[in-house]
Amino acid sequence: MKKPLILIVEDEPAVRELLVNAFEFHNFDVIEAENGAEGVEETKKNLPDLIVMDVRMPIMTGFEACQLLKAEESTKNIPVIFLSAYGQDAEVNTGLDLGAEEYLIKPFEVSNLIERIRHVLSKHDKS
């Protein structure tokens, strides 16, 4: 059976590495991007099963990237989980209004993130 493919869009190398290691350990295939613009490119190229995306990044924010992906027919149904150090209600609501499935605040428990990913994938029949 094919492993779910997860795209990590995160500008902090240490956080990205932590996520890659955790996801691979939990039997996911992983691709990476360093900013929102790269994330959009990788999404169009690879059509991942799910995207875990930071909000505040250089070049293009996670919000901008999510908005672009949700506007495209080929990528609009790919679930997005935002990870952000910023958890004000307005920011969380913006992320969810843009179509994200989840909005988790950093620092986060890796086990909780894996649980949320599995939940979202099963909801979209991609587990």
pLDDT tens readout for residues 81-110? 999 988 889 999 999 999 999 999 999 899
Domain range list for the chain: 5-123
| Average confidence (pLDDT) over 10-31 | 97
**Can you give the pLDDT at residue 19?**
97
Burial class of residue 90, CB neighbours in 10 A (0-12, 13-18, 19+): exposed
**Can you give the pLDDT at residue 98?**
96
3-state secondary structure of 50: strand
CATH of 5-123, one of 3.30.830.10, 3.40.50.2300, 3.40.225.10, 3.40.50.1970: 3.40.50.2300
Q: What is the pTM of this model?
A: 0.96
pLDDT tens readout for residues 43-89? 999 999 999 999 999 999 999 999 999 999 999 999 999 999 888 89
